[in-house]
Homo-oligomer: A and B are copies of this chain.
């Protein structure tokens, strides 16, 4: 529990001003609309520690790779989400003195993120150094309906007698990325204009040449009797992703002007309704546990803010629009963690867009594999990407954490299992699966010594092991991919022979040579096992490690990734996140419950959960094997990861993709939801103190409300 935040079922609330927590709060109170987002920076000047952040989905910059020791195959650039113009700015002067909470004395402070309605409100009373006391209320939102609009109202009242207030709204386009590799600026200036009631700036990214225009329409009204000044600011934000560059300013102006015409109160009402409508088919209600309730709604809220499925060029960055870290690019998180959430809350079409994102990038994945020495249409999807090109440069990850290819195949399977949309295979899926299967076929080695296929030099989901041989999870998902690719192609061949023919011709696929090769691998793959313990081995040689349990680790040594040198972590048996268990989660029907329980007990006790993606999968498996205390502990850890700042890094941004895992922990874990033969099934196991659990599920065109009681 975070004693600093108020526990509330629908709101995130802060009731005092703590300069040391400004950056953390900026992350936690972020707002967005799937198209753009804004950290909860103060509107007025703030000279204390802050991380200004405003981001526009799909607008990125290829930052030149920084590396100590270059390895062949590294990409030249890391595509990064861009910190862009600070459009919320207001300079406030009272009797000539700047209002700045860093220099003023804050008498009273309240900030609220209304997750139900997508609104950020802040109220404070402050005494300036010149002794004038002011009361401020700032409310703002990024419109869910008008996706190119940001709107805010900033109201200031002088409490201590007469004072002259000057209020000057501004847009500051002179911004930098904190994570720039070489401290360069990523934007070029294009144009600006200003009038007493408006300001506009157009900027263009260097190299990638995305243009963005911010057009702000201002309205200031004074009520001298109440000593109150109110500023309305309507900002149209348009980018060359959606407009001809020459029309950007006109389009942005139109958005702002239309908003002004409609008026702030109406826009606010629109926003409330739009969000209520969203919640009406994706809320999760937990009875008897406000912390758990707040946690899950925070996760859902952030996911809805980050991705709406309206644009196949966008995806879900690990930090969404809440920070720069990880470059805002796409990871396997999307396929392994986010797809189930969007499928069940936003519907088939939204999840389909996420799949198509990878389909559209298939040529780049083939190019990527070719660069690494593969051939014949083998596809390796990048570890991190913005536009399909690999961005990562750490050999043990970039070249070796190849299980990501499996997650991309699995997402297709998962989508079809859920939606029944088998035709997706013919339209897009089969080609992706074939490219992935071809990759595995070449990445695998025939070991003469063992008379088995082996997979050498990989990094599994557990990144606390690098360059291992025969990671069980990777071997397993590779074989699964080969089988599923073949089955999928056979289905297309049978049900859409014309389309099949076209695919075969396009890909130069040779059925009689490739299929038998795939099946030979499936049949003769080596899977490491510990016979005595009857568990799957994370990789060859795992049992050579000193076997210590996490509970026996000195807490002063945690987190390991901050306390231990990298080689020590690698040599240890400690696990960062689900690895063998990720496989048992994905493919649970392939294993009996005792096998799952045995492996869970062995591996969970060695897992330090130092990845945000770790606790959720463990929570689901714990619930499955009936270890409800463990499941609940892990659930709280995942759903309140950022609210309670377990990893001491929320100031950098939120862990968006793991939030989808938290949702899975509730729905698949506690409610036990599965899709079996085209039907939803449930096996509820609520934590003891939960009075009830209810939620909405969008399944095959129908939104159902599910209710479970203790």
Can you list 26 residue pairs at the A/B interface with Cβ under 8 Å?
A66-B68, A67-B67, A67-B68, A68-B68, A68-B394, A72-B561, A72-B564, A72-B566, A72-B569, A73-B565, A73-B567, A372-B565, A395-B567, A396-B396, A396-B467, A445-B545, A446-B546, A447-B543, A447-B544, A448-B547, A454-B544, A456-B541, A456-B544, A456-B570, A457-B567, A467-B467
Decide if A571 is an interface residue (CB 8 Å cutoff): yes
Contact of A568 among B67, B372, B547, B568 (CB under 8 A): B372
CB-defined contacts of A445 to chain B, threshold 8 Å? 544-546, 571
Most buried by B among A71, A400, A466, A566: A566
Which 10 A-B residue pairs are closest in the complex by CB-CB distance? A73-B565, A399-B567, A449-B543, A71-B566, A447-B544, A67-B68, A372-B565, A467-B467, A395-B566, A457-B571
CA distance A67 to B568 in the complex (A): 20
Contact between chains at A371 and B565 (CB < 8 Å): yes
Decide if A393 is an interface residue (CB 8 Å cutoff): yes
CB-defined contacts of A373 to chain B, threshold 8 Å? 564-565, 568
Decide if A469 is an interface residue (CB 8 Å cutoff): yes
Contact between chains at A399 and B546 (CB < 8 Å): no
CA distance A400 to B571 in the complex (A): 10
CA distance A72 to B464 in the complex (A): 13
CB-defined contacts of A544 to chain B, threshold 8 Å? 445, 447, 449-450, 454, 456, 469
CB-defined contacts of A65 to chain B, threshold 8 Å? 68
Decide if A562 is an interface residue (CB 8 Å cutoff): yes
Decide if A591 is an interface residue (CB 8 Å cutoff): no
CA distance A518 to B394 in the complex (A): 37
Decide if A540 is an interface residue (CB 8 Å cutoff): yes
**Further contacts, 9 of them, CB under 8 A, given A69-B393, A540-B540:** A68-B394, A372-B568, A447-B543, A448-B547, A449-B543, A454-B544, A456-B571, A457-B570, A469-B541
* In the complex, chain A residues 453-470 whose Cβ is within 8 Å of any chain B Cβ: 454, 456-457, 466-467, 469
* In the complex, chain A residues 548-579 whose Cβ is within 8 Å of any chain B Cβ: 561-571
Please give the distance in Å from A130's CB to the nearest CB on chain B: 44
Contact of A69 among B394, B450, B457 (CB under 8 A): B394
Most buried by B among A372, A395, A543: A395
Contact between chains at B72 and A562 (CB < 8 Å): yes
CB-defined contacts of A545 to chain B, threshold 8 Å? 445, 447, 456
* In the complex, chain A residues 434-449 whose Cβ is within 8 Å of any chain B Cβ: 445-449
CB-defined contacts of A69 to chain B, threshold 8 Å? 393-394
Chain B residue nearest to A568 in the complex (CB): B373
Q: Mark A369-396, 1 if CB is under 8 A from B, else 0.
A: 0011100000000000000000001111
CB-defined contacts of A562 to chain B, threshold 8 Å? 72
Most buried by B among A399, A467, A544, A563: A544
Please give the distance in Å from A389's CB to the nearest CB on chain B: 15
CA distance A570 to B73 in the complex (A): 13
Contact between chains at A566 and B467 (CB < 8 Å): no
Q: Mark A49-81, 1 if CB is under 8 A from B, else 0.
A: 000000000000000011111011100000000
Which residues of A line the B interface, CB within 8 A? 65-69, 71-73, 371-373, 393-396, 399-400, 445-450, 454, 456-457, 466-467, 469, 540-541, 543-547, 561-571
CA distance A68 to B76 in the complex (A): 12
CA distance A546 to B448 in the complex (A): 8
CA distance A412 to B168 in the complex (A): 75
Chain B residue nearest to A453 in the complex (CB): B544
CA distance A45 to B449 in the complex (A): 63
CA distance A563 to B67 in the complex (A): 19
Please give the distance in Å from A367's CB to the nearest CB on chain B: 13
Contact of A66 among B66, B394, B469 (CB under 8 A): B66
Chain B residue nearest to A394 in the complex (CB): B69
Chain B residue nearest to A449 in the complex (CB): B543
Please give the distance in Å from A631's CB to the nearest CB on chain B: 31
CB-defined contacts of A72 to chain B, threshold 8 Å? 561-566, 569
CA distance A466 to B396 in the complex (A): 10
Chain B residue nearest to A544 in the complex (CB): B447
Contact between chains at A448 and B543 (CB < 8 Å): yes
CA distance A493 to B68 in the complex (A): 46
CB-defined contacts of A67 to chain B, threshold 8 Å? 66-68
CA distance A545 to B566 in the complex (A): 26
Contact between chains at A565 and B399 (CB < 8 Å): yes
CB-defined contacts of A540 to chain B, threshold 8 Å? 540-541
Most buried by B among A66, A394, A457: A457
CA distance A69 to B69 in the complex (A): 11
CA distance A371 to B568 in the complex (A): 11
Contact between chains at B393 and A68 (CB < 8 Å): yes
CA distance A540 to B528 in the complex (A): 14
CB-defined contacts of A561 to chain B, threshold 8 Å? 72
CB-defined contacts of A568 to chain B, threshold 8 Å? 372-373
CB-defined contacts of A71 to chain B, threshold 8 Å? 565-566
CA distance A396 to B445 in the complex (A): 23
Please give the distance in Å from A649's CB to the nearest CB on chain B: 14
Chain B residue nearest to A543 in the complex (CB): B449
Contact between chains at A467 and B570 (CB < 8 Å): yes
CB-defined contacts of A400 to chain B, threshold 8 Å? 567
Most buried by B among A68, A454, A543, A546: A68
CA distance A457 to B399 in the complex (A): 18
CB-defined contacts of A564 to chain B, threshold 8 Å? 72, 373
Most buried by B among A399, A450, A561: A399
CA distance A544 to B540 in the complex (A): 12
Chain B residue nearest to A397 in the complex (CB): B69
Chain B residue nearest to A373 in the complex (CB): B568
CB-defined contacts of A394 to chain B, threshold 8 Å? 68-69
Contact between chains at B447 and A566 (CB < 8 Å): no
CB-defined contacts of A541 to chain B, threshold 8 Å? 456, 469, 540-541
Most buried by B among A71, A446, A564: A71
CA distance A564 to B546 in the complex (A): 35
Please give the distance in Å from A562's CB to the nearest CB on chain B: 7
CA distance A222 to B394 in the complex (A): 62
CB-defined contacts of A570 to chain B, threshold 8 Å? 456-457, 467
CA distance A429 to B171 in the complex (A): 68
CA distance A571 to B445 in the complex (A): 9
CB-defined contacts of A450 to chain B, threshold 8 Å? 544
